[in-house]
Amino acid sequence: MTRNMFGTDGIRGTANKFPMTAEMTLMLGAAVGRHFRNEHQGVHRVVIGKDTRLSGYMFENALTAGLTSTGMNVLLLGPVPTPAVGLLTTSMRADLGIMISASHNPAEDNGIKFFGPDGFKLSDAVEAEIETLVETGVRPAHPENIGRAKRIDDGRFRYQERVKSTLPQGLRLDGIKVVIDCANGAAYRTAPEVLWELGADVVTIGTEPNGLNINKDCGSTQPQKAADAVLRHNADVGICLDGDADRIILIDEKGQVADGDQLMGLLASSWADTGRLKGGALVATVMSNLGLERFLDGKGLRLERTKVGDRYVVETMRKNGFNLGGEQSGHIVMTDYATTGDGLMAGMQFLAEMVRTGRKASELTQVFDPVPQLLKNVRFATDSLPLDQVGVKAAIAQAEADLIGKGRLLIRKSGTEPLIRVMAECEDPALLEQVVDGIVAEVQAVA
C-alpha cells in the first residue's frame, strides 16, 4: 500500500489541511485504537502528550474522540517533551503513546507521532496497517465499552525525575551558568526546572509560549538568540532545544554553535574510554559529516549509517545492540536511558562531561574537524516530482562524476516537509558550491 499519511517521523502538515485536519485525526484515532485493541487483550490505555501549538487542543480532542470510540482509555499529559511520552507509555503500562507535535516546524504546522507499548516509535509496517484501517474504516465499540479520558497532572514531574537520574550519583551543576532556549515549546517548564534543581545558574529563552510562537526566531534551528545571550550573560554553555525537545544544539562560551555530530563524537569517545559504548559503534544517518567518521575511525570505533530519521537510527541500534546514536540535526538517542531522541538528557550528558573533565564547552564541542559540507533546501509544489525530471537527473549525474574521489553527494526528499534537500561534502569549497548550486538551479526550474 502507498504511504499517503506517514512520513519519516509520523504524520505532519499544515493544520486544517490534509492530513492534519480534525476529521482525519478523528479517523486516525479510531484506526490506531482499533489496531492496538486487536493486538492486546485486557484494559486498554493510551497516553497523549502535546507541545504548545494552538492547534494542539483541536487534535488532542479529535484523537481522544476517535480512541475512546474504540474502547481505549485516554490519559492526557498536556505539554510535555516527546521523550516523556515514550517514557510514560512504558511506565504507565499503556498500549500506545501519542505525541502531538510538528517538532521544529513553524506554529501553523502540526503532527502526530506514535509509540508502541515498548516506548519505541512504530515500524513502517505498523504504520501501513493503520493507514489501511483509516481507508477502510473501523467498527466502534459497543456503548458500554466506550473508553474514558483523564488528565494526568504529574507526568511532567515523572519525566523530570528520570532526566535527573541519568546523571552520575551525586553530581551537581553548581557554578555552571547555562542559557537554555526552549523554543517556546514543550520543555518550557521542564528544562529550566531540571537545570535549576541540579544547581545550575539558569538563563531562559523561549519559555513564554502563546500557541503561535513555537520555534519562532529561537530554538535549535535558530540558535543565534541563545548565542547572543551566552555572550551577554557570560554563560558557560548554551543549550537549544526544538519545539518538542527531542533534539539539541549546543553553544560554547564563545558563542560558537556545535551540531549533533560534535556531541555524538564527544559522547562516543568518552563512553568508549569508560567502557560504556556497546558494540564499539555509533549509529548515525547518511547526513552526518565525513569528519565524524574519520574521527571515530581514529579511535578504533565504527560509524554505522542509516537513512534519515531518528527511528531508523533506533531500529539499527536495537537490532545490533548499540546504545548510542543520533542525527546531525541534534537528535541524540541513548537507549540506556530513553527510547527516542532526547535533547534534555543529551544536554545533561554534556554538562556531566564538563563537570567530570573540568574543561570548557569550547574544548568539548569541537572534537573533530568537519569536512566542508553544504546543504540547501528547495521547496517544491506538492503535486510535482522534481527528482524525476530529465534536467535534474542530468545535473545529479554530473555532480556525482565531479565528486568521484573528492567527496560525496546526497539528494533526498524530506519526509516531513515539501523540500528537496541537496547536500554535498568536499574538501574543495569551490567545487562544493558548484555541484550543489547546479542541482539546486535545476530543481528550482521544475519545482
Please check whether residues 377 and 425 belong to one and the same domain: yes
> What pLDDT is attached to residue 41?
62
Domain boundary among 218, 239, 256: 256
pTM: 0.90
Q: 578504533: which residue's cell?
A: 300
Residue pair 190/225 in contact (Cβ under 8 Å)? The answer is no
> What pLDDT is attached to residue 434?
95
Q: What whole-number distance in Å separates Cα of residue 301 and Cα of residue 294?
A: 10
**Candidate list 101, 103, 270, 329, residue with the active-site label:** 103
Please check whether residues 54 and 41 belong to one and the same domain: yes
Q: What whole-number distance in Å separates Cα of residue 129 and Cα of residue 36?
A: 11
The domain that holds 195 is classified in CATH as 3.40.120.10
The domain that holds 437 is classified in CATH as 3.30.310.50
Tally of domains within the chain: 4
- The reply to whether 430 falls in a domain is yes
Domain of residue 247 covers 158-164+173-256
Please check whether residues 182 and 245 belong to one and the same domain: yes
What is each CA distance from 42 to 45, 138, 305, in whole angstroms? 10, 19, 40
Please check whether residues 277 and 390 belong to one and the same domain: no
Please check whether residues 298 and 199 belong to one and the same domain: no
Please check whether residues 201 and 121 belong to one and the same domain: no
Classify residue 406 as exposed, middle or buried by CB count within 10 Å of its CB (0-12, 13-18, 19+): middle
- The reply to whether 1 falls in a domain is no
Please check whether residues 312 and 190 belong to one and the same domain: no
Please check whether residues 30 and 146 belong to one and the same domain: yes
- The reply to whether 121 falls in a domain is yes
pLDDT by position in tens, the chain (length 447): 345 788 878 999 999 999 999 999 999 999 999 999 865 567 799 999 999 999 999 999 999 999 999 999 999 999 999 999 999 999 999 999 999 999 999 999 999 999 999 999 998 899 999 999 999 999 999 999 999 999 999 999 999 999 999 998 889 999 999 999 999 999 999 999 999 999 999 999 999 999 999 999 999 999 999 999 999 999 999 999 999 999 999 999 999 999 999 999 999 999 999 999 999 999 999 999 999 999 999 999 999 999 988 889 999 999 999 999 999 999 999 999 999 999 999 999 999 999 999 999 999 999 999 999 999 999 998 778 899 999 999 999 999 999 998 989 999 888 777 899 999 999 999 999 999 999 999 999 988
> What pLDDT is attached to residue 415?
74
According to DSSP, the β-strands at 257-258 and 237-241 are unpaired
User: Minimal CA–CA distance to 134: which of 2, 311, 17, 309?
Assistant: 2
Residues 6 or more apart whose Cβ sits within 8 Å of residue 140: 30, 69, 70
Cβ-based neighbour number of residue 216 at 10 Å: 15
E strands, 289-406, in order = 302-306, 324-326, 332-334, 373-379
Q: What whole-number distance in Å separates Cα of residue 251 and Cα of residue 259?
A: 9
**Residue 217 grid cell:** 526566531
Q: 492526557: which residue's cell?
A: 76
69 has catalytic annotation: no
- The reply to whether 139 falls in a domain is yes
Residue pair 307/286 in contact (Cβ under 8 Å)? The answer is yes
Cβ-based neighbour number of residue 12 at 10 Å: 24
Please check whether residues 228 and 270 belong to one and the same domain: no
What is the 3-state secondary structure of 104-148? CCCCCEEEEEEECCCCCECCHHHHHHHHHHHHHCCCCCCHHHCCC
**What's the number of CA atoms in the CB half-sphere (13 Å) around residue 368?**
26
Residue pair 436/424 in contact (Cβ under 8 Å)? The answer is yes
Domain boundary among 222, 256, 290: 256
